[in-house]
Each structure stands twice: as C-alpha cells, then as structure tokens.
Amino acid sequence: MHWFTADHIWLLVGFAGQGLFASRFIVQWFKSEMEGRSIIPVAFWYCSLGGGIVTLAYTMHLGSVPLSLGQATGLVVYSRNLYLIFRERAALRAGSGTSPA
C-alpha cells in the first residue's frame, strides 16, 4: 500500500487545515490566562485565516460546494477582523505621533 498517494496527501492537507484552525483556541486560551481576562489576540485571527485557507483548499479538492462556501464566508470575517485591527493600530500610531515599529 502506498501512503503518499494524492488522496493521502489531500487528507493530510485537510488535517493540517483543521489543526491550524483549532490551534486558535489554544492561542486564545493561553493569552487569556496570561492576561487574567478573556482576550482575543491577533494570532487568533491569523490561525483562523491560515486554517481557513488550507481547509478551503481541501474542501474545494473534495468538490463540496456547501463546505467550500462555509469556509469562504469565514475567510471574509477573519480578513475583515484583521483589517479592523490594523486600521485601529494605524490610527493610534498616527494619533500618538510615533512611527510604526
């Protein structure tokens, strides 16, 4: 039996996407424990976006329109949240007169 067939590789891609997506909760939990309050760090949205992209590729390979649409919709939300975060940071930098790091 060959373990490195295209189907097996795509299965690994699917698991990797789900693993990356699920890691966002570990990131959020860790950061909240460090802060002593519930917080959603920027890394949460990067894990969401990365996992969503990889999982979208997998669902498209499967040819599953409902799953692909669900993943694509999530990508819009994750991207929008990152945009809002960066827009807010830029406004804060502009208001404080400091240069971006």
The three-state secondary structure class of 63 is coil
14 Cα distance to chain centroid = 14
Name the residue range of residue 33's domain: 16-95
How many other C-beta atoms can be found within 10 angstroms of the C-beta atom of residue 14?
Answer: 17
Q: What's the DSSP call for residue 4?
A: S
Two tokens, residue 13: 């891609």
Give the pLDDT score at 4.
83
Query: How far is it, in rounded angstroms, from Cα 47 to Cα 61?
Result: 21
Angstrom distances, CA of residue 70 to CA of 88, 96, 101 = 28, 40, 36
pTM, two decimal places: 0.85
Assess if residue 80 is contained within a domain.
yes
Give domain status of residue 6, yes or no: no
What is the distance between the terminal CA atoms of the chain, rounded to a whole angstrom? Answer: 52
The structural domain count of the chain equals 1
DSSP letter, residue 1: -
In this structure, what token pair is assigned to residue 27?
Answer: 């990131």
Residue type, 20: L
Let me know if residue 89 belongs to a domain. yes
Assigned domain for 53 exists: yes
pLDDT tens over the chain, length 101 residues: 677 899 999 999 999 999 999 999 999 999 999 999 999 999 999 999 999 999 999 999 999 999 999 999 999 999 999 999 999 999 999 987 555 55
